[in-house]
Structure 1
Amino acid sequence: MLRSISPKKSIRCRLLLLALGVELVMLTLLVANDLRLLHRAMIDQAHWQAQQMLPVLNAALKAPLARRDFASVQAMLDESRTARGIDYIVITDHVGAIMASSGWTAGHKIPQPSCSLPFFSFHQLKRYDDALPILQSGQKQGTLHLGLNLSPVTSARQNLLIEGIGIAVASLLLSALMFLLIGSWLTRHLSSLTRASLQVASGNLGPPPLSEGDDDIGHLGAAFNTMSRAISERVRELTYAKELAEASERAKSESEERLRLVLAGTEEAFWDWDLIHDRIDFSTRWAEMVGFTPEELEPYGDSWERLVHPDDLAAAMKILNEHLEGRTPSIEAEYRVRTKSGAWRWILDRGRVVQRASDGHPLRAAGTHTDITRKKIMEGLLGERTMMLEREIAERKQAQEMLAAQQAELEILNQSLQLRVDEAVAELRQKDQILISQGRQAAMGEMIGNIAHQWRQPLNALAMLISNLQYAQQDNQLTARYLNESATTANRLIQKMSTTINDFRNFFAPGKEMVSFSAMAQIRQAVDLVDAACRSSNIAITVDAENDCILRGFPNEYSQVLLNLLSNAREAIIGTGPRAGRIAITLREQEGMGVVTVRDNGGGIPEAILEKIFEPYFSTKSMGTGIGLYMSKMIIEGNMGGALTARSIDGGSEFSVFTPLAEKRS
């Protein structure tokens, strides 16, 4: 029975698909070429714009750069970036270090100039990079880097691509409609002929007559009408003859069909063995099992023996002979047979003798062959999995026993280790207390020297005041008023000296608990204690803080850390030789921390010992104890939850003290 023609395979559909395919290729090439030309034009426009801006900026920046007027350079960069659609402008010196920038994040690597822009990922690009050397009297003073914002360009390209795709889709839809109408008009008669042919094929031998005419389609319709009438008459004759033949064969075919259905349903092969003539009739299913055609299999017993695996043949023949001799009720054997391809398949052979002579001699036997290869494979896999599982169970049991033994050993080691850890922690705490005590004593020695500097000026003033009183008394100019004024001045000087003693006593009083305190107050207190000693050594101390920070911790210990950093800075500056020294102190907030930075121009810290300066008893001073920085780091990081860092800067060193803000800890 013929099937109806699928719309996808009709001439009308194929013509439509061919036309649409050609038009789709042409539209794709057209849009791709437009995008290529636009891409080239956009690249040229970005390059031209960069080449127009770079010389202008270069000429405008030469004079400020020659004067090292970086404020003017920065102003020009900011104005140029905001007014001309530029993402960033960076000026680097001859070694690549950034001199000035606008719109660029510090610490990021400056990109190389864009030689070309990728065509397919162009929509992901947001910037065009370019660079131009800055020349002064023929010598390169630096490089001007510039990044143009490509967002408008990529947006325009995206819009053009969307419009092109929209036009292409609309064109394809209109073309499809036009070609569909033309194809329907050209094939309108072929559809009628196809429908009539399908009706005849389905058994309707009297379809409606087709239209006849003088053109090719009309002649084809007339020929089809003649053929349809002839087929109708011949079919009636054949139908009568067929009914007679079917009536005679119906009884025979019914019994054969039952047997075929039973065998087909069980997927088993049938064999019938005539033992008198040693002839075996095999079913088609047996030929399929072993990969041969029925004609290639010889109907004799030795052909079966040649297919059986040599290792299985003896056992199979024993089972067969025992049944033929009447010692077993049936045949049931499993063995391997070789297929035509050379592979081996497992067969279950079951049967019995169906006819014997009067003396019991077998005359005829019949049975079935069943393919049990998959079953054997599954049994093999199951056996392997069982063995693997048994081995895994044994290994796991052994591992559990070993683990239990190791666990017991580990518990014993843990108990011993805990005792040693406790002893080590107690010893370390005792050493830390000794270090803190030594640090306090060393700081106290420093403070005594600072107090000596603090007292020198008021003591000199008191000596002069006493001398003046003596001279006034000798010259009879000592009046009550002059005496009172001198006494007031002397009391003020003595009070200042007493205040120094109180500050010294409070400075070394250990804190009992963490409190909130002013960072600026502690900075001022530490500076006041070393200011006189620094001024006598020609060292200036500056404090820069926009706002005060309220910290959480131990204020006296915090001041002791600052005093230690200031004393180290003073000694480093003095050690570098006679010159004007500078100690700069800054205070700022950073990510929930109050940060105090102490910078000096004392020559810096050698890179080889930078990681060792916080170790106990490590010192570069001939008379140093090596515990000041260790104690400071322990106070800030161990007791106050902060951090103390150090690094070398140009001509000096920088120490930063990070301490949690009171608001963040509450």
Structure 2
Amino acid sequence: MKDRLSVPNPQQIGNQNFAELLAAGNSMCLFVWQDTELWPVRYVSDNVESIFGYTKQQFLEREVHFKFLVHEDDLPRVNEEVRRLKSGETGYRITHNDYRIRHKNGRHVWVSDTSIIKMDTEDGVPLLFGYLIDITERKELEIKLETERNRLQLLLDATRLGTWEWNPQSNLTVFNDRWAQIFGWSKEEIAQSPYSWSSRLHPDDYDRVWRAVKDHLDGITPFYESQHRIRHRDGHYVYVLDRGRVIERDEHGNATRYAGTVTDVTEQKQAEINARRAASAKNVFLANMSHEVRTPLHGILGLVGVLEGTELNEHQRKLLLTVKESGDHLLQMLNDLLDLTRAEEGQLKLNKDVLLLPRIMQHIEALYRLPIEDKGVEFVIERSNSMPERIYSDRARIVQILTNLLNNAVKFTSQGTITLSLGWHALESSGNPTREQGELLIEVKDTGSGIRDTQRIWQLFEQEQQGLTKKQSGSGLGLAIVRNLVQLLNGSIQVESEPEQGACFSLRLPMYAVYSDQVNPEALDQPRLPELAPRRILVVDDNPINQLIVSEMLISLDQQVIKASSGQEAVEFLKRHPIEVVFMDLHMPLMDGMETTQRIRDLPVNQPHIVALTANAYPETRTQALRSGMDDYLTKPFVKADLARILNRLDKVKS
């Protein structure tokens, strides 16, 4: 077979004007190949160099063999398609699947190729006529989109998210396989209608969910989010977190595409429910036991009072005094326990009035001066010059806080000094000269044995020393009582301590200073929390009870709360959803709060304000947390006012 370099005549390649039209384009090129081993080029349009980098002459003089330019991964398929064309399986023409041609500069050009086969009329050699279109830009976009689709599908599979899409105009609704599986169905069994899920909503959730859906449709909320229950195929209810937003509207502003995801949160919700039940059961049990013990104890103490009025010898009086002191101690412990359970159930009430602060201090000094000095320890009371004479607060709760803190100091201090300091921090003026809003500053400092674990001491019944060898007795109620009373008064408390270096408890209690004896106590309102802008807040804590407490505080401040039980869960959530503030527990398994923060700071997202939550009050830990990328630091135990103060500070910065 003789190869020829001459261009086929117009009858062989078709209308020459058509060839010129093809050549005029920047992305379309006409080829005629000879069907021999290397597909030598018999004709090519003039614009070939602009597409593949090789000149027309290089092709025609066989300096470049077309077959060698086809990508090695695509060549077998192209060969098979040519074989099918020549065998007549595809008729007289074939459109190849997209394939790649190596450009002169080494890159690859994606082409779409439609070819026909004809015989050379002069020597009978089969010729392939084809036009190639450069589709590189479109193909790379297709590949990118396919990669994104695959990545999204892998992400959905990994996170076990169900997806849905709804057209509110036609009511056509599409669910993915995972959505159906969450509720025990296959996708084929689910009708493409919103009724498929709305009919399975828990009756108690139905109105609330549809209101949330409609609020976003009407533009009232920037997105739709709801936690609710949907009935499973076998009859039980699945708790889900359902999120979505309108992604397309028509020319009239009507939503035509409303898409979202569903996450099964039954396990987390059940843990929350169990935590609530456990806390409630514990409180009920403790309250009941307190009441049951109180009745016979009052009988014992009553008889002790009767016996004190009888004739007793010195030995009997000492025995009776021991009984009385033991009974008083037990009664105080029961009162504390009852107050604690009431506080945790939100039933502990305040009884505020105008108080003389010097009288409270005289009472405290009378109670503790002699017992402290009998131990060989110095008792110092300090009072700043700015202290008001009168305050508006609950006398019993202030005394209860001071006695518990001083009892703790006395118990663990055998030498040195116990110091009680009081000060006053004035806040914004009320405009009324008879009263001033501020904070009572209390500090109880000792030179005792110190505290190793500043987190543990706030827990109910927890003590630094445990077991048979512990030096000090006690119920472990005192500091738990203090924490709850401080919270009740909308105050804050923190502790600084090191082993064998003593401890210092610092409190801030908001209240009014009163500068007139003609003040109506009812006119002195409790200091209000600041008005806060609503925010999306992520609470990250592996302890469901701690998570619940922080979440409930924030919800009561009208904030939108999402919860995560691990650092990894928090990072994955922030990859997909915008969050303004993160409250982050430092001590978590696998990935602690600092590492989680560093991972978040590496994400290509709008960065949230991250607040560390920890019972560790050491300055070194605070420094490490801030260096890890955290913006703020809150020491446990904290109260709602502490959270409000941080959020209010963000509002001021933003404004």
- TM bracket (short chain): 0.3 to 0.5
- Structure showing the higher strand proportion among its residues: 2
The structure whose Rg is larger is 1
TM (norm. structure 1) is 0.35
Which protein is richer in helix relative to its size? 1
TM-score normalised to structure 2 length: 0.35
